[in-house]
Structure formats: structure tokens, C-alpha cells
Amino acid sequence: MKYIFVTGGVVSSIGKGLAAASLGTLLEHRGLKILIQKFDPYLNVDPGTMSPFQHGEVYVLDDGAETDLDLGHYERFTSGVLTRMNNLTSGQVFDSVIKKERRGEYLGKTVQFIPHVTDEIKVRLHDVTVNNPDVNVLITEIGGTVGDMEGLLFIEALRQFTLEVGKENVCFIHVTLLPYIKAAGEVKTKPTQQSVAKLRELGIQPDIIICRTEADLDEDSRKKIAMFCNVEKKNVVAFRDVAHTIYECPLDLRRDKIDRLVVDKIGLGHTPPPALEGWERFVQRVIHPKHKVTIAVAGKYGLQDAYKSIYESLIHAGAHHNTKVKILRVEAEDVEARGAKDVLGDVDGILVPGGFGDRGIEGKILAAKYAREELIPYFGICLGMQIATIEFARHVCKLKGANSTEFDRTCAHPIISLQEEQIGVEDMGATMRLGSCESIVFPGTKAAELYGHAESIHERHRHRYEFNPDYQEALQEAGMVISSVSAKEGLVEIVELPSHPFFLGAQFHPEFQSKPNHPHPLFAGFVAAALEYSQK
Ligand code: GLN
């Protein structure tokens, strides 16, 4: 087993996750069996309780784990299907140590940061591969920035671990930023030098330094970094801002042969250079599309990354149809303030994503109404599906006061409501309907057509409220088709309107299962409908 550790320096958000994922792509295309995981130093047990406006999207795995959005990059850039074992937080580490202490597992001992907490971290480096016996390279990204107090225990654990498994089996990669100072017309290496010095103080000498730069990395800077950071010049790798799409990242990192450097460092033998033809073709389709559509994503905005996987899925589906998808970020409250026509008048498709809380709800309902009445393709995801049914109940079935009990607990018509098992649940962490479950798709529906007539599908969930079965009949009689229900409980999974070119809502999150060369069928169908609409 070989180990790659990816740390970050200078500033956060420099693309460590993309660097780790891209390295995964390169090694996998060399024929190696890799697995990627992330260690996050914050104290939340998982990011499920964090606002997406602070931390970005919560990415949900098959097994229901609510994880960091970098795991989304890992799944999209490699073939691995990840589990809750692939995201470890300080919250989990401490939770486990304290539970063990209470159970008396350390009886007689003083429980300490070293060795008890660091041991707990090291255990994960073994356990994560237990169910993946054929994996030969484990890539672990350490969240945060080297020098942060909260990351110290993780770095210390890696130092100890390296001694235990042997330096020859470990490769440390440090990702840093080379700022460009306009006034001086120069790229500066000092922050990189200082951040590597910080790492060496903690007992770790990086083997490879990935330098995030706006443009190219000149020879002088490479030499300087090599000398001051104590690495060979060839191990200073440039990671430039990509011009068009994040899927260029593996191609960019390949220019300085990072995969080769890693393979040599940890002795992975003779593997052929990565065969990336399929990946390159995908990138070309993203960069040089024939057509263009504009899709409005009507949500709540704060941080760029709140709807990350949805944007990526639209790119995958666009590439599939040779189409550039221009995303119009629509603040749902604006639709309410300015009117749907004003905000959405020029778009070819409207997507209402998932969400929690009542801000922007009425704007989203107006967006769904506008899409339905104007025959504009509509795709509702999770909350977006609930919005579509509420809108239909209010304006087609004339059920005045139709709503979700999430927004109005005592509404006249609770179209969306809590299931029995959710009533009385008080803990907020990991108590929703989470993860992959099987659903039945009914033949003859749009959904069945899009899923290639599959009778059974598996999709990932993250929600608490459900379509209320008491209202199924009324909505069906008025023309809404229920095209999929969960196999076990019969809960409504997909609704659609056959009288409309494309009006579909899914209670699950298809965006967590779309990949560059395998767009999710619902996204592919939505973008195709938007393209058709744009050409009319
Ligand atoms: N707030 C809604 C629920 O809990 C929708 C959740 C979501 O969109 N992920 O059911």
C-alpha cells in the first residue's frame, strides 16, 4: 500500500481538492487502483449541520454520509464510489476518543492528544482501505492550511504514520499559492518558502510542491522554490488557472509530469503514461460547443459553491449535447420582487435546486408557475420538486393555502409534510432521509424514457419532508403524473407533467451521480429540452 498526503499552504481555497482529484485521475488512467479521502480539521462531526453559504454544498454519498464538497470532485474525477469512511473530521475523532474513554477502553491511562487522538487518526488510514482490498494507492487530502492550530494533530499523525510504514511508501505533496504582484510585475515565492518551513518545523519535508499560479511558472521561480524548500527542481510543479473548465486540471498537472514524479517517489513500478483520450475529448466538447442554452438556477446565493454538483451536472449534460450551458444565478427573492417574466424572460430552462428554510420560497413557486405556463423546461430537485407540487396544487387544483409544513406548519393543504418517523426527531445531525435507495419507475412516463426504460433506479436522498399521500389522487386527477416511487415505502420520487415539453421534479439529488463522460439521464433530458426550446 502506498500513501499520498496532500497538504495546503498560504491561503485556503487554492484548489487542493482539485489537485488531489486530478492526481487521482492521472494515476487511475495509469492503470493504478486508487482511493481518495479527506481529513477535515473542524469540530463538526460532518458538514451536514453547516450552512452551504459558509462551507459550500453538502455532498451526499450512497451510504448517506453528508460530506465535504471535495468528495464530489473525487467521485467525478475518478471511478471510486466513496463511503462515510472517506471523510474524517476532528469532530468524529474526538467523539470516538471520548466515547472510548467513557466505556473504559483506556482504563488506568491519562487520555492525551498524543498518542490517543493521533492514534485515532492513524487508524483511519488503515480502515478506509479495508473494504477496498485491491486499492494500491491511498490519496489523503488534509483540509485547512498548514500552520492552523486545528490541523496540527492531523499533521502530527501523518508524521508518525510515515515512520511506521516507511518513508519509501509515502509521498507528501504541498499545494501553495504564488501570488503575482502587479506593481512589481513579479511572481512571489516567499509565502511558499514560509509555508514549507512551517511544515518542516512539524517534521514533514514535502516531496513535491504544487504551485498555483495565474500564468506560467518561470525557471527562476522554480529554482528558488527548489532551493529554499529543499526539493529537486523537477519536483516543483505548476498548477495554472485553467482557462475554461476544471476538467482541464488533470491535463495541466500532467504537463509537469506529476504522476510520473509520484510513481517514482513511492516506487509504483512501470506503469504506462496516463491514457486520457476520453477525458481530452470531453474537455474539447466543453471548450468548443456547437450550441448554447441559458439555464436559470433559482436559489439562494451566498457562497459560489452552494450548488456545485448541480453546475457540474449541467456541464456534463451540456457536453453530451455539444452545448454550452450558461448558468444564470437567480436569487429566488428577486423573482418575487421583480416578477417572473422580468427575471426569467430570456432563459431556456429553469432549475429549482434543493434547500431548507422559507426564504425565497414564494419566488421559487412563481418560477415554477412561469415555467409551467410558458412551457419552459423545468427541473426541480428535492425542494424544487416540492415547490413544483405546491405550485400545481395551488394554481391547477385550486387548493388555496397549499404549502409544505416546513414553511407553514398549520397550512390549509399540507401537500408536503413530515413522515411519521420524522415527527418528534429533535437532533439535527444525520437525522434526515439520507443516501441511496431503490425506486421503481413506471413505464410509459418521461422518467422511464430518460432512464432508458429501467424499471428500478438508485438515487441519493437528503431531505426530511415528503409528498403527502393524502393529496396524490387530487394532483393526479388534475394531470400530474407520479412516475417513480420508492421501492420500500412507496414514497413519491418523481413527478412530471405530460402536457408540458419538460416539467419534472425529483425528490432525490441526481446531481450527486453525474460524471464527465456519463451525464445523469435527468440532466441530459433537461438540457436536451432546453436546447429544443432555445431553437424554437
Ligand atoms: N427542505 C426540504 C426537506 O427537508 C428539501 C430538502 C432538500 O432540498 N435537500 O424535505
Q: Report the alpha-carbon distance of residue 490 to residue 383 in Å, rounded.
A: 19
Q: What is the C-alpha separation between 452 and 116, in angstroms, rounded?
A: 52
DSSP string of 472-520, one letter each residue: HHHHHHTT-EEEEEETTT--EEEEE-TTSSSEEEESS-GGGG-BTTB--
Instruction: Examine the domain organization and report whether 307 and 407 are in the same domain.
Output: yes
d(CA 349, CA 312): 16
Residues 44 and 173 in one domain: yes
Over its C-alpha atoms, the chain yields an Rg (Å, rounded) of 25
With both helix axes pointing from N to C terminus, report the angle between 90-103 and 152-165 in degrees, rounded to the nearest 10. 80
- pLDDT value, residue 59: 95
Tell me, in angstroms, the distance from the centre of ligand 1 to residue 197's CA: 45
Quick check: 424 pLDDT over 80? no
pLDDT band for position 4 (50/70/90)? Answer: very high
480, three cell numbers: 400530474
- What does residue 100 show for φ and ψ, rounded to 5 degrees? -65, -40
DSSP annotation string for 243-257: SS-GGGHHHHHHHTT
pLDDT for position 357? 87
Confidence of residue 303 (pLDDT cuts 50, 70, 90): low
Q: Please write the tens of the pLDDT for every residue from 22-38.
A: 999 999 999 999 999 99
120 and 251 inside one domain: yes
180 and 43 housed in the same domain? yes
Distance CA 293, CA 524 (A): 13
Tell how far the Cα of 360 is from the centroid of ligand 1, in angstroms.
14
pLDDT digits (tens, 9 = 90+) for 493-520: 999 999 999 999 999 999 999 999 999 9
Given ligand 1 and candidates 381, 465, 492, which is best to mutate, with the most ligand atoms within 8 Å of its CB?
A: 465
- Identify the burial level of 439 via C-beta atoms within 10 angstroms of its C-beta, where 0-12 means exposed, 13-18 middle and 19 or more buried: buried
Ligand 1 atom 8 nearest Cα: 354
Pair (342, 221) in one structural domain = no
* Confidence class for position 426, pLDDT limits 50, 70, 90: low
User: What average pLDDT score do residues 174-202 get?
Assistant: 93
Per-residue pLDDT of 86-125, as tens digits, reads: 999 999 999 999 999 999 999 889 999 999 999 999 998 9
Contacts of 432 (CB under 8 A, 6+ apart): 461, 462, 463, 464
- Give the CATH number, domain containing residue 318: 3.40.50.880
Q: Are residues 312 and 209 in the same domain?
A: no
Based on the domain organization, do 492 and 419 belong to the same domain?
yes
β-pair type (492-496, 456-463): unpaired
Task: Supply the pLDDT for residue 25.
Answer: 97
Distance 484 CA to ligand 1 centre (A): 18
% of the chain with per-residue pLDDT over 70: 98
CA distances, 146 to each of 160, 176, 200, 433 (Å):
17, 10, 10, 36
Nearest atom within ligand 1 for CA of residue 355? 8
- Taken in order 514, 520, 526, 531, the sign of the CA dihedral is positive
- What is the count of structural domains for the chain? 2
For ligand 1, the distance from its centroid to the CA atom of residue 354, given in whole angstroms, is 6
Query: CA-CA distance, 70 to 263, in Å (whole number)?
Result: 23
Residue with cell 482541464: 248
Ligand 1: list residues with CB < 6 Å.
354-356, 382-383, 406, 462-465
pLDDT of residue 305 exceeding 90, the answer is: no
Residue 509 alpha carbon, nearest atom of ligand 1: 9
* Residues 267, 323 within the same domain: no
Write out the residue range of the structural domain in which residue 519 sits: 289-535
CATH assignment at residue 169:
3.40.50.300
From 307, 358, 383, 432, give the residue whose CB has the most ligand 1 atoms within 8 Å, as the site to mutate.
383
Residue 13: CB atoms within 10 A of its CB come to 13
Backbone dihedral angles phi then psi of residue 415, each to the nearest 5 degrees: -65, -35
**Of 262, 280, 298, the domain-final residue:** 280
Q: Which residue has the cell 505533496?
A: 173
Checking if the pLDDT of 215 tops 80, the result is no
Query: How many whole angstroms separate alpha carbon 501 and alpha carbon 411?
Result: 31
Q: How far apart are CA 378 and CA 368, in angstroms?
A: 7
Judged against a pLDDT cut of 90, whether residue 52 lies above it is answered with: no
320 and 198 in a single domain? The answer is no
Answer yes or no: do 258 and 294 share one domain: no
Instruction: Return the H-helix or E-strand segment holding 330.
Output: strand 323-331
Give the distance (Å) from ligand 1 centre to CA of residue 518: 26
Q: What average pLDDT does the segment 60-78 reach?
A: 95
Nearest CA to ligand 1 atom 7: 354
Band the pLDDT of 13: cuts 50, 70, 90. Answer: confident
Quick one: 134 and 269 in the same domain?
Answer: yes
Looking from the CA of residue 432, the nearest atom of ligand 1 is 4
Closest residue by Cα to atom 5, ligand 1, is 383
Last residue of a domain, one of 248, 280, 312: 280
Query: pLDDT tens across 473-499, in order?
Result: 999 999 999 999 999 999 999 999 999
Indicate the pLDDT class of residue 141, thresholds 50, 70 and 90.
very high
Catalytic sites, residue numbers: 382, 509, 511
350 within 8 A of 298, measured Cβ to Cβ: yes
Mean pLDDT of the chain: 93
Give the pLDDT score at 430.
63
Query: Of all atoms in ligand 1, which is nearest to the CA of residue 353?
Result: 8
343 shares its domain with 441: yes
Q: Which of 245, 280, 315 is the last residue of a domain?
A: 280
